Amino acid sequence: MAPDADTSPTSPYFGDLSYTSVEKLRASEQTIVLLLPLGATEPHGPHAPLSTDPIISLGMCERAAAHLADDPEVRALILPTLPYGVTRYASAFPGVVHVNEESLRTMVVDICVSLGGQGFPHVVIVNNHFEPEHVRTLHAAADELKTTHGTEVGYLDLTRRERAKRLTPEFQRGESHADRYETSLVLAARPELVDRETMADLPRVAVNLAAGIADGKKDFLEIGLERAYAGSPAEASAEEGEAIFETLSEMLIEVIRELAAGTGGRDTSGMFGRV
Q: Residue 90 in contact with residue 43, Cβ under 8 Å?
A: yes
- 49: Cα within 13 Å, side-chain hemisphere: 18
Q: Using pLDDT thresholds of 50, 70 and 90, give the confidence band for residue 270.
A: low
Q: Using pLDDT thresholds of 50, 70 and 90, give the confidence band for residue 272.
A: low
The two most distant CA atoms of the chain are separated, in Å, by 63
Q: Residue 191 in contact with residue 57, Cβ under 8 Å?
A: no
What is the DSSP code string of 44-97?
A: BTTTB-TTHHHHHHHHHHHHHHHHTTT-SSEEEEEPPPB--B---TTTTSTT-B
- For residues 240 and 263, what is the distance between their CA atoms, to the nearest angstrom? 32
Could you read off the pLDDT of 69-100 as tens digits, one per residue? 999 999 999 999 999 999 999 999 999 999 99
The packing angle between helices 238-261 and 52-67, to 10°, is: 60
Q: Is the pLDDT of residue 1 over 50?
A: no
* Higher-scoring residue by pLDDT: 101, 161: 101
CA angle 244, 245, 246 (to 5 degrees): 90
Could you read off the pLDDT of 10-27 as tens digits, one per residue? 799 999 999 999 999 999
The domain ranges of the chain are 14-261
Secondary structure letter of residue 267 according to DSSP: P
Q: Is the pLDDT of residue 274 over 90?
A: no
Average pLDDT on 214-224 reads: 94
Percent of residues, the chain, with pLDDT higher than 90: 90
43-57, 186-200, 257-271: range with lowest mean pLDDT:
257-271
Q: Does domain 14-261 have CATH number 3.40.50.10310?
A: yes
pLDDT of residue 275: 36
Mean confidence (pLDDT) of the chain: 93
Could you read off the pLDDT of 97-153 as tens digits, one per residue? 999 999 999 999 999 999 999 999 999 999 999 999 999 999 999 999 999 999 999
pLDDT of residue 174: 86
